[in-house]
Amino acid sequence: MRPEVNLGFAAAFAPALLDPTRDVPAAVAGRGGKPAGRRYDVYRNNVTVSLIDALAAIYPAVQRITGTDFFRAMARVHVRESPPSSPLLFEYGHGFPGFIARYEHARTMPWLADVARIERAWLDAYHARDAAPLAPTQLAAVAPERLADLVFTRHPAAQIVRSQYSAVTIIAANRDSAPAERIDASAAEDALITRPEFDVVVRHLPPGGAVFAACLLSGQSLGEAAASALDASAEFDIATNIAGLIEAGAFTSISFGDAG
Amino acid sequence: MITANKPATVPLRFSLPIGGIAGTSFKPEHLPAILQAGPQAGFFEVHAENYMGAGGPPHRALEAIRRDHPLSLHGVCMSIGGPQPLDRAHLARFRSLVARYQPALVSEHLAWSTHEISFFNDLLPLPYTEATLRNVCDHIDEVQEAIRRPLLLENPSTYVTFRESSMSETDFIRAIAERTGCGLLLDINNVFVSATNHGFSALDYLGDFPLSCVGEIHLAGHAEQSDDEGNLLLIDSHDGPVADAVWKLFEIVAARRGPVPTLVEWDSKIPDWPILQAEAAAAQAILDRCKPAAQTEDRHAA
């Protein structure tokens, strides 16, 4: 064992980086030993601004909806409360949708947190492991009497976000530079996020579709998933839904689970 | 299933070392323009962390770039200068990228960015003492062991100094290179920024810098602010063209060191590809001019 050495410099330097109420650390200096002052503030600014920029990159639709000033003020509070714990910035911000839901000044936009959840899922799908999606012909080859026992393997990019609001319509209108239009936010919409090859796709699931897809993605059989979906919505149509999920690239393979 | 996630290696298609060629930061928005232009003489540098996801478009873009150009893998977040042990998961991801993409150059920073569990996303400074020197050397040993090749360590740009520092930055860096066998990435903009901020001579710093260990040079733009006393404070912003003073210092270094791979870094307010390409062409012209002088020096030395 080598002797203990004094490496307390980081403990002295770090705490004030995200806390403007703390004093500039005395361990560092400017020219001629003068207090570091604005020089230390360069680091504070780099840290805070770069992390706000990271959130803005992950949540472009949220920023477009709120406007830049609102977004940056909101993001600043979150960055100071919950800095990243991973050096991979594309993993940052999983707590941001929950923060938005609690953020006092966003209460007039109750759907904003769900828009953020879809954007976070969008980036997870973007970076997910590459995998070839299930070919539709594979399902066609299954004997009809065995369909109910069929189990699907989730594609690494596939995710569902459920919303009591029109989150899918809102996000579709705000992820590009199309002119803003008035949207009725009150219709519940569930989103399926997939990336069958390289392009992330956000789809609006039909009634019962989110329950159905969630059951299948968690490994339940086709029969179980269809029963749950019918419980959730009498309008549920199994043929449309399974074809839609396969076309979207939600799965990579099929098997017969324990029974197979 | 351990091998399932092991990426296939991209075979080397360029003889190493790559020599005195100029390169640019690779920005995904430039990919269509780069691919349309076809293979070029330069190299591309990427921030390793941007390619640490499992899959998707980033890897597809990097494979497309790597197919026809030498690659420089530039780590930003290893926190080599920090007091806590290196993040083993992060080191494993870094090693995996080196194995997969077989970069011509691999570099990291003399800085830290993580403390306890918080990642600050900035290159933070450290004091230069015997204790921090041992700590940095241990971390570099660990990285080099993991990637099984020498790392190029980049000199920092700083805005403050630590009262406890007991040696100069150049002595500190020279000792690191001697003790670990690592190479050095000389960022000339960082030298100019720090020299301005702390009131020392950039030429003196370069005179003290162990140029023989330099395996890559960085050039970049900076921004201007002022400190509490009204002194000019330069910010290492990478958001504009290389400053005239930095070009001059580069000419001096290139004449002394001879041609080495030289990167024009541009990470923010990113211009169209032809503008970045023109900056690299300006660096290439200086590298090309210095070749005969360097060869003369080599013969002289032999």
Which domains are delineated in chain A? 1-109 (no CATH), 129-260 (3.90.930)
Residue A6's pLDDT is 59
Tell me if A28 and B117 make a contact (CB, 8 A cut-off). no
Among the listed residues B17, B105, B18, B33, the one whose alpha carbon sits nearest the alpha carbon of residue B65: B33
What are the strands, taking DSSP E only, across chain B? 22-25, 43-47, 71-74, 105-109, 112-115, 118-124, 152-154, 161-162, 183-187, 214-220, 223-226, 232-235, 262-265
CA distances from B100 to B61, B71, B78, B195 (A): 14, 12, 19, 38
Asked if residue B5 has pLDDT above 70, the reply is no
User: Which residues in chain A touch residue B77, judged by CB atoms under 8 angstroms apart?
Assistant: 87
User: Which residues in chain B touch residue A95, judged by CB atoms under 8 angstroms apart?
Assistant: none
What is the least distance, in Å, from the CA of B52 to any CA of chain A? Answer: 7
Residue B104 lies in a domain: yes
Which site among B228, B235, B267 would you substitute to test the A interface, given the most A Cβ atoms closer than 10 Å to its Cβ? Answer: B228
Which residues of chain A fall below pLDDT 50?
1-4, 260
User: Which residues in chain A touch residue B163, judged by CB atoms under 8 angstroms apart?
Assistant: 26-29, 33
What is the least distance, in Å, from the CA of A20 to any CA of chain B? Answer: 15
Q: Give residue-wise pLDDT tens across range B125-146.
A: 999 999 999 999 999 999 999 9
Tell me if B118 and A29 make a contact (CB, 8 A cut-off). no
Q: How far is the C-alpha of A155 from the C-alpha of B184, rounded, in Å?
A: 43
Give the nearest chain A residue to B195 (CA atoms).
A31
Give the nearest chain B residue to A4 (CA atoms).
B131
What's the domain count of chain B?
1
The two structure tokens encoding residue B31: 């990919």
**CATH number, residue B116:** 3.20.20.150
Is there a contact between B167 and B207 (Cβ–Cβ < 8 Å)?
A: no
Judged by phi (left if over 0) then psi (alpha if -120 to 50, else beta), residue B147 lies in: alpha
DSSP assignment, residue B129? S
Nearest to A29 among B82, B121, B161 (CB): B161
Tell me if A18 and B159 make a contact (CB, 8 A cut-off). no
Residue B208 lies in a domain: yes
Residue A5's pLDDT is 52
Q: Residue A69 half-sphere exposure, CB side, CA atoms within 13 Å?
A: 0
Q: How far is the C-alpha of A249 from the C-alpha of A238, rounded, in Å?
A: 17
Q: Give residue-wise pLDDT tens across range B206-238.
A: 999 999 999 999 999 999 999 999 999 999 999
Nearest to B227 among A7, A8, A37 (CB): A37
Residue B1 lies in a domain: no
Q: Give residue-wise pLDDT tens across range A126-163.
A: 999 999 999 999 999 999 999 999 999 999 999 999 99
Is there a contact between B160 and B194 (Cβ–Cβ < 8 Å)?
A: no
Sheet holding A159-163, edge to edge: A159-163, A189-194, A201-205
Residue B117 lies in a domain: yes
Provide the H-helix boundaries in B10-50. 31-37
CA distances from B230 to A30, A157, B61, B235 (A): 12, 52, 45, 15
Tell me if A87 and B49 make a contact (CB, 8 A cut-off). yes
Residue B9 lies in a domain: no
What is the least distance, in Å, from the CA of A75 to any CA of chain B? Answer: 15
Residue B8's pLDDT is 62
Residue B59's pLDDT is 97
Tell me if B225 and A42 make a contact (CB, 8 A cut-off). yes
Tell me if A129 and B5 make a contact (CB, 8 A cut-off). yes
Residue B12's pLDDT is 65
**Cβ burial, residue B182 (10 Å; 0-12/13-18/19+):** buried
Residue B13's pLDDT is 64
DSSP assignment, residue A259? T
Tell me the whole-structure pTM to 2 decimals.
Answer: 0.93
Q: How far is the C-alpha of B48 from the C-alpha of B46, rounded, in Å?
A: 6
The two structure tokens encoding residue B212: 């023989």
Residue B19's pLDDT is 92
DSSP assignment, residue B15? -
The two structure tokens encoding residue B249: 């210092």
What are the strands, taking DSSP E only, across chain A? 28-29, 151-154, 159-163, 189-194, 201-205, 251-255
Band (B298; pLDDT cuts 50, 70, 90):
very low
Give the nearest chain B residue to A5 (CA atoms).
B131
Is there a contact between A233 and A188 (Cβ–Cβ < 8 Å)?
A: no
| Enclosing domain of residue B211 | 16-301
Tell me if B56 and A128 make a contact (CB, 8 A cut-off). yes
Q: How far is the C-alpha of B53 from the C-alpha of B48, rounded, in Å?
A: 10
Among the listed residues A160, A157, A158, A150, the one whose alpha carbon sits nearest the alpha carbon of residue A205: A160
CA distances from A119 to A156, A245, B51 (A): 16, 20, 20
Give the nearest chain B residue to A85 (CA atoms).
B118
Asked if residue B68 has pLDDT above 60, the reply is yes
Nearest to A85 among B54, B56, B119 (CB): B119
**Cβ of A15: how many Cβ atoms within 10 Å?**
15
Residue B258 lies in a domain: yes
Nearest to A83 among B119, B163, B199 (CB): B119
Residue A56's pLDDT is 98
Three-class DSSP labels, A57-76: HHCHHHHHHHCHHHHHHHHH
Residue B296's pLDDT is 43
Give the nearest chain B residue to A196 (CA atoms).
B56
What is the least distance, in Å, from the CA of A58 to any CA of chain B? Answer: 13
Nearest to A195 among B56, B82, B83 (CB): B56
Q: Residue A50 half-sphere exposure, CB side, CA atoms within 13 Å?
A: 23
Name B233's bridge partners.
B225
Give the nearest chain A residue to B112 (CA atoms).
A10
Residue B2 lies in a domain: no
Nearest to A30 among B59, B126, B160 (CB): B160
The two structure tokens encoding residue B210: 């162990």
A-B interface: how many C-beta pairs under 8 angstroms?
154
User: Which residues in chain A touch residue B59, judged by CB atoms under 8 angstroms apart?
Assistant: 130
What is the least distance, in Å, from the CA of B165 to any CA of chain A? Answer: 10
Q: Give residue-wise pLDDT tens across range B182-202.
A: 999 999 999 999 999 999 999
Interacting residues of B299 by C-beta distance below 8 A, sequence separation 6+: none
Tell me if B52 and A88 make a contact (CB, 8 A cut-off). yes
